[in-house]
Amino acid sequence: MEQHDELPEGHLFLSDSEYAHSRTEVLKTIIILSIVTVVEVSVAIGYDHFNPTGGNFKWLINLFMAVMSVVKVIYIMGTFMHLKNETRGFFLTVLLPFMFLIWAIIAFSYEGGSWNHMRDIINAYNPLNLF
């Protein structure tokens, strides 16, 4: 018993029913993850097959892929990494820092687009063609 002092409080030993339940839950999760991946890859290959030059709905496909990836991450972090069973305080401690990334993605993508539009101006002042 004295060695259990360092053990975290909560769910470190599973009863028979908990064990059976978590086994099915994990099996369900891996099946969902596999299906999502197969769907993503089929959509990517299918879209490329019918629109080899890009097409008009590429943005819609990209949005779909981004949403599907978020679904996968929710399942991996929630079930596999047990985040949904942690306390609310810890859940937020892990999740809130990622809010910074949302802004970083928007800001740096926007900046990249801006460089793209300024390419002609930059090239005019850039005789070595470095950019």
Partner 1 sequence: MASATLEHDSHHVVTEKELWKGGKSPFRISYGKVMMWYFLISDTFTFASFLITYSSLRFTQSANWPNPAEVFSSIPLHIFEGVKAPLVFVSFMTFLLIVSSYTMVRAVQEGYRKNKMGVVYFLLPTILCGIMFLGCQYLEWTHLISEGMTPTTAAPVTKLVNFGQLFFVITGFHGLHVFFGVILNIWLAVNAWNGTFDKRGHYEMVEKIGLYWHFVDLVWVYVFLSFYLL
Distances 68 to 54, 77, 93, 97 between C-alpha atoms, Å: 20, 14, 24, 22
Contact indicator for 72, 33 with CB cutoff of 8 Å: yes
Per CB under 8 A, does 78 bind partner 1?
Answer: no
Q: Check residue 60 for interaction with partner 1 (CB under 8 A).
A: no
Q: In this structure, how many other beta carbons lie within 10 angstroms of the beta carbon of residue 32?
A: 14
Q: For residue 87, give Cα distances in angstroms to 41, 81, 102, 115.
A: 35, 13, 24, 44
Q: Which is nearer to partner 1, 7 or 127 (CB)?
A: 7
Q: Is 125 in the site for partner 1 (CB under 8 A)?
A: no
Q: Name 69's Cβ contacts closer than 8 Å, sequence gap at least 6.
A: 40
DSSP state of 52: T
**Which residue, 49 or 127, is less far from partner 1 as judged by CB?**
49
129 binds partner 1 (CB under 8 A): no
Q: Nearest 5°: phi and psi at 56?
A: -90, -20
Among residues 56, 99, 101, 130, the one that binds partner 1 under rule CB under 8 A? 101
The reply to whether 48 sits near partner 1 by the rule CB under 8 A is yes
Residue numbers at the binding site for partner 1 (CB under 8 A): 2-14, 19, 22-23, 26-27, 29-30, 33-34, 37-38, 40-41, 44-45, 48, 52, 54, 62, 65-66, 69, 72-73, 76-77, 79-81, 86-87, 89-90, 93-94, 97-98, 101, 104-105, 108-113, 115-116, 119
